[in-house]
Chain A
Amino acid sequence: MKLHEFQSKAILARYGIPIPRGEVTDTPAEAAGIAERLGGRVAVKAQVLVGGRGKAGGIRLAASPREAAEAAAAILGMTIRGLPVGRVLVEEAAEVERELYLGLTVDRAIGRVRAMASAEGGVDIEEVAHARPDRIGSVAIDPFLGFRDYHARYLASFLGLPASLWVPFSGIAQGLSAAFAESDASLAEINPLVVTRDGTLLALDAKINLDDNALPRQPELAALRNADEESPAEARARLAGLSYVPLEGTIGCMVNGAGLAMATLDAVKALGGMPANFLDVGGGARAERIQTALDLILSDPRVRAVLINIFGGITRCDEVARGVAEAFSGRSPGVPVVVRLVGTNEAEARDILGQLEGVRVQRSLEEAARLAVSLAGVGV
């Protein structure tokens, strides 16, 4: 789960990291009021959960409350990479001397959190990592020992910070590391971390992503989820414990297991079709979850055929078949449905599915995918 800039900054502030004064609003009039209270120049920043908002015109400087209102009016009407801007952050503008990068993420290869810093702040750090990996300094953090002072000294020296800033930098890095650990983050970034003209450090922009698996033990953070950032279908899937990613095609796919779901989508695409979604019903999927999954797929108007691919392990094929039967009881799916299942209790499942009208059972994934692709093509 991704947090907005203003939410991320609120967390950083709790860990003693200096951030610009500011407030969030959804109206131009309030934006003017905030600018008035702050006094002086302000930045008006779109709060959307995608990168590249600066390039899209989602960040504007304003010299007066009136300009702040104008900037807010312009930004609040925008759509940035498909996401409408519902709120802006109005904060005091900083006088920037240098832009740095400081971030933490999980280094999968070694199974530890890694802190990274770069003097190339304010730009996409992935581009830096790709083009100039030598410009990123990093330290791996032992989970039992935490972020140490020497880690901070190493990074500060890598960044070429003057010795006078080492102590404040260390405080910021320690704070970010504690925020990461205690929030169960998967990413925590300050980009840019700026050195201001008066020689202090300030977190000018911040981004925190949370580990979805840890949200149950982070109820306060989980409550920050913004309903408007998620489509109704995605929200419904999440609440039902389904992993669902809408795509652009016409073949609705329901599969158990992420790997098999990906391979099923790959097969559909390789055989000339376009998947409408990724949908993993998960392990041990019970009948009602299968029913919800089918409802989700069929609520997408682009779907012209449904492909169900189940390989039974912890999931029992008969439970899936029962879910399919219940979803279709008393109504027609409206589009052809191709089912392929193998594994635990597959014979019982075949018996159940054999009695359903409009459902075609196939033995192999490739046959099933080929049939779904050809059925989806009918009438296009």
Chain B
Amino acid sequence: MAILVDHHTRLVVQGITGREGTFHTQQMLAYGTQVVAGVTPGKGGQQVHGVPVFDTVRQAVAETGANASIIFVPARGAADAILEAADAEVALVVCISEGVPTLDMVRVRRALRGSGTRLVGPNCPGVITPGVAKVGIMPGHIHVPGPVGVVSRSGTLTYEVVYALTQAGIGQSTCVGIGGDPVLGTGFVDVLELFEDDPQTEVVVLIGEIGGSDEERAATFIHSRMRKPVVAFVAGRSAPAGKRMGHAGAIIDGGAGTAEGKMEALRAAGVAVAEMLGEIPGLVRERLGQPGGPNS
């Protein structure tokens, strides 16, 4: 077991003929992901690394039975690509595209409400179930299968943590990058809920950062609803207020969204909060093999 992505995942790559789409299609195929189709309007009939290309997602789904999509199209077309996939009833849409206008995402989130489509991202590294499939841009070789679920707002910071876990001999059930934008398809709480119900996952690592209040909401959920232990890290303790630290969502606004505030909320919910990245594998190991209990 795992969450979101497994051996039933049949992937369509939207924007497959672009530079990143082509490169990561090859990487995902090499990892063992069932990449069954690609979509680039006007390039239907071509092939990319042996994967058939279609003009529309609907055609791709009809011909190949794709049930998940990954999006590499430029930011201005990302909202349209997400809606196209949802309209074709693709169950999981992972949007890698960076720089999507926030109000596009406001409309997309509203449009997806009540649909059968779950969106992860945008501006995210995707989802990987080690040893099974990767629907994302993360380097596959740093992951190994195991009992730790990882959820993060960051991309490369997640790789850093996963790499450290793997080096310490600790494998992962599924790693989910939810993205660094202010408005996202899937938040921490959504993923925590999935991990709580996943038999393979024993411990969850949550990697947050400054800005917004998703970590605080996660803390509330962990305190009231989770039995599995959670280890957390929050990036941006040295960030000044009012400056956007790269991610559109990573900004301390009017004293809200600070790393300290988030760490405090998580600690109060019974989460083991790492001060330094290097502490994470040790904190996870202490919690593996322990019986679950309420985080309160």
Please list the residues of chain A having a beta carbon within 8 angstroms of any beta carbon in chain B. Answer: 106, 108-109, 111-113, 124, 126, 129-130, 142-144, 181, 184, 186, 211-214, 216-217, 243, 245, 247, 255-263, 265-270, 275, 278, 280, 282-284, 310-315, 342-344, 364-366
Tell whether A313 pairs with B139 under 8 Å between CB atoms, given A269-B237, A366-B278: yes
Tell whether A267 pairs with B102 under 8 Å between CB atoms, given A129-B254, A217-B76: no
| Residue with the highest number of chain B CB atoms closer than 10 Å, among A143, A181, A243, A270 | A143
Task: Give the interface residue-count category, chain B.
Answer: 35 or more
In the complex, which residue of chain A has the Cβ closest to the Cβ of B183?
A: A111
B75 to A213, Cβ gap below 8 A?
yes
Cβ-defined partner of B155 (8 Å) among A142, A184, A259, A310 = A259
A278 to B278, Cβ gap below 8 A?
no
In the complex, which residue of chain B has the Cβ closest to the Cβ of A257?
A: B156
CA distance A184 to B125 in the complex (A): 25
A258 to B238, Cβ gap below 8 A?
no
Cβ-defined partner of A258 (8 Å) among B76, B101, B139, B180 = B180
A126 to B137, Cβ gap below 8 A?
no
Query: Which of B60-68, B83-91, B105-113, B192-200 forms part of the interface with chain A?
Result: B105-113
1/0 per residue, CB under 8 A from A, across B167-200: the answer is 0000000000000101110000000000000000
B246 to A211, Cβ gap below 8 A?
no
B107 to A108, Cβ gap below 8 A?
no
Cβ-defined partner of A109 (8 Å) among B159, B212, B235 = B212
In the complex, which residue of chain B has the Cβ closest to the Cβ of A112?
A: B106
B106 to A113, Cβ gap below 8 A?
yes
1/0 per residue, CB under 8 A from A, across B133-169: the answer is 0000111001000000000111111111001000000
| Residue with the highest number of chain B CB atoms closer than 10 Å, among A267, A313, A364 | A313
In the complex, which residue of chain A has the Cβ closest to the Cβ of B98?
A: A283
Cβ-defined partner of A265 (8 Å) among B214, B238, B254 = B238
In the complex, which residue of chain B has the Cβ closest to the Cβ of A246?
A: B243
Give, as a whole number of angstroms, the nearest-CB distance from A9 to chain B. 22
Give, as a whole number of angstroms, the nearest-CB distance from B113 to chain A. 9
CA distance A260 to B217 in the complex (A): 23
Whether B32 sits at the interface, judged by CB under 8 Å, is no
In the complex, which residue of chain B has the Cβ closest to the Cβ of A367?
A: B278
In the complex, which residue of chain A has the Cβ closest to the Cβ of B139?
A: A343
CA distance A179 to B75 in the complex (A): 22
A214: B residues at CB distance < 8 A: 101-104
Tell whether A109 pairs with B217 under 8 Å between CB atoms, given A214-B101, A245-B245, A313-B159: yes
CA distance A323 to B275 in the complex (A): 33
B101 to A126, Cβ gap below 8 A?
no
CA distance A344 to B141 in the complex (A): 9
Q: What would be 20 A-B contacts, judged by CB atoms less than 8 Å apart?
A: A108-B212, A109-B217, A213-B75, A214-B102, A257-B154, A258-B246, A259-B153, A259-B156, A262-B236, A262-B245, A267-B277, A278-B243, A280-B245, A284-B20, A311-B159, A311-B160, A312-B139, A312-B159, A314-B96, A343-B142
A247 to B240, Cβ gap below 8 A?
yes
6 additional A-B pairs beyond A109-B217, A315-B156, beta carbons within 8 Å, are A106-B103, A129-B254, A184-B101, A260-B235, A310-B156, A313-B125
CA distance A263 to B155 in the complex (A): 12
Whether B292 sits at the interface, judged by CB under 8 Å, is no
CA distance A105 to B245 in the complex (A): 19
Give, as a whole number of angstroms, the nearest-CB distance from A122 to chain B. 17
In the complex, which residue of chain A has the Cβ closest to the Cβ of B247?
A: A258
B101 to A257, Cβ gap below 8 A?
no
Cβ-defined partner of A111 (8 Å) among B105, B125, B138, B256 = B105
Cβ-defined partner of B159 (8 Å) among A245, A255, A343 = A343
Whether B92 sits at the interface, judged by CB under 8 Å, is no
B157 to A278, Cβ gap below 8 A?
no
B238 to A108, Cβ gap below 8 A?
no
A211 to B102, Cβ gap below 8 A?
yes
Cβ-defined partner of A143 (8 Å) among B107, B152, B277 = B107
B246: A residues at CB distance < 8 A: 243, 257-259, 261-262, 278, 280
CA distance A127 to B195 in the complex (A): 38
Cβ-defined partner of A216 (8 Å) among B24, B76, B243, B245 = B76
B235 to A106, Cβ gap below 8 A?
no
Give, as a whole number of angstroms, the nearest-CB distance from A211 to chain B. 5
Cβ-defined partner of B154 (8 Å) among A111, A258, A275 = A258
A259 to B235, Cβ gap below 8 A?
yes
A126: B residues at CB distance < 8 A: 253-256
A143: B residues at CB distance < 8 A: 103, 106-107, 110
CA distance A217 to B80 in the complex (A): 15
- Per CB-CB distance, the 8 closest pairs between chain A and chain B, nearest first, are A259-B154, A258-B246, A257-B156, A126-B254, A259-B157, A214-B101, A280-B246, A260-B156
